[in-house]
Amino acid sequence: MTMSDYATTTYIDNYIGSHIEDFLKFKGKKSINTEKTYRSALNRIFKDILFKSDYKYITVSDIENGLNSDVLFEYFDDLFYLEKEEGKRKYSNQTINNRQSAIKSLIEHLRGRKVIKYDLNDLTVIKSLPDTSEEIEMIPFDLAMEYADYFGKEDQGLEKSLIINLAAETGMRASELLSVEWSNFIEVEDGVILKSYGFNKGKGNQEWIDKISKELYNELLQLKTIGNDKKLFTLTYKQLVGMMERGNKLLNKTGIDYSFHSFKKLAVTMCYLNNGNCIDSAKKKARHSNVNTTMRYLRLTNLNVTGIISAKMSTDEDIYKTVSHELLLEALSEMRPEMLLLLNNKIKNKKNNM
C-alpha cells in the first residue's frame, strides 16, 4: 500500500456516520418520536456548527474538536438570545433542550463505544433550561368550539374542525392525531374505543387508549366521504401551527397565545372536573407517567377559583335554592360553557339512574 492509499483509507475510515445511524436506530427502538427529534436536532447542529448537511460525513475530529464543550456552550448560548421579530425569541427552551440532549447523548454513546475520545465531565457546563411548557394555557371550551367552527369554513375545513373536536375530547397530541387511522377504532356497545397499536403510539412510545361517543365517531366518519380511507387526517403539523396563529389573531380576545397543545389541557381539565375532581382519571386522560405532571396541568389552568374562601364566606351557600326559576336560569346562562356541560352531565346521569 502506498502512502497516498494509506492516507485515503485512514481518512475514509475516520467517518463515523454509521455509528451515528446506529445511535439513532437505537433511540428509535424506544420511541419513534425521539428518533425523529434527535435526527432533526443533530442535523441542525452539524449544519450550524460544522457546515455539514449530511451526518454520513461527520468525522472523529468533528466531534472531538469541532464540537468540544466550549463550542457547544457558545452555540446554545447564542440560540437562547437569538430573536426572530418584535423581540420574540426564535427558539424555545424546549427546542434548545432537545438539541442539547441529542448531542450530549450522541457524544456519550460514541465515547462509550470507544469511537471518540472525549472528557464527558466537560459536558456538565451544558445545562438544561427551565421547562416552559407549563406556560401553555388551557383554551376555554367556548373559544375552542369557536375555533372549530371558524376553521371548518376554510379549505380542508372538515378535517380542521374535527381534529380540534377530537383533540378537545381525547387530549391526544397533534402528532398522535395526525397519524391515527380508522383501524385504531373499535366499536363497542356503549361507545367507540380509540386505541394505539404498532408504531402508532404516543410520546415516549407509550400506548394510549380512550373512549368516545358513537355520535362523535359518526361525525368523524364524514372524513371517509372525502377520501380519507386509511388515516383520518391529511393535515400537516405546519398547518396546525398556522391555524392556531390565525385563530389567536382573529378570534382570541384573551391576550393569550394558545397552541394546539391547549386543547389537550382542556381535555385533561374537563376530565378532572367531570369525574368529581379525580386526579387519577385526569392522569389517565393525559397519559402522564407522573401524577405531578398532571397536577401541574391542573394547577396552571385558569379555573376562576381565586378567592374561593372569601367568596364562600360572603355568599349564602343555599341562595340558588331560594331565588326564582327565571333568575336561576339567567345566572346559569352567564356561566362558562364547560361549567354548564358539567351540570348537564350531572342531570343526565341522575335521570338515567331514576
Q: What is the mean pLDDT of residues 15-39?
A: 90
pLDDT at 6 (0 to 100)? 34
pLDDT classification of 174: cutoffs 50, 70, 90: confident
Q: Which three cell numbers stand for residue 23?
A: 445511535
Q: Are residues 292 and 194 in the same domain?
A: yes
pLDDT classification of 300: cutoffs 50, 70, 90: very low
Q: Are residues 109 and 257 in the same domain?
A: no
pLDDT greater at residue 89 or residue 265:
265
Decide if 103 is inside a domain. Answer: yes
Decide if 136 is inside a domain. Answer: no
pLDDT classification of 162: cutoffs 50, 70, 90: very high
Q: Are residues 195 and 282 in the same domain?
A: yes
pLDDT of residue 237 exceeding 50, the answer is yes
pLDDT at 112 (0 to 100)? 95
pLDDT at 218 (0 to 100)? 93
Q: Is pTM beyond 0.75 here?
A: no
Report H helices in the chain.
3-13, 17-30, 32-50, 60-61, 69-81, 93-112, 141-151, 157-170, 174-179, 214-220, 237-250, 261-274, 279-286, 291-300, 308-314, 319-322, 325-333, 337-352
Number of domains in the chain: 3
Residues 6 or more apart from 57 whose CB is under 8 A from it?
15, 17
pLDDT at 131 (0 to 100)? 65
- CATH code, domain with 232: 1.10.443.10
pLDDT of residue 82 exceeding 70, the answer is yes
Q: What is the mean pLDDT of residues 319-336?
A: 79
Q: Are residues 145 and 190 in the same domain?
A: yes
Q: Are residues 200 and 102 in the same domain?
A: no
Lowest mean pLDDT among 8-12, 32-36, 74-78, 151-155: 8-12
Whole-number mean pLDDT of the chain?
83
Whole domain around residue 322: which residue ranges?
311-352
C-alpha 94/C-alpha 215 separation (Å) is 37
Q: What is the mean pLDDT of residues 220-227?
A: 96
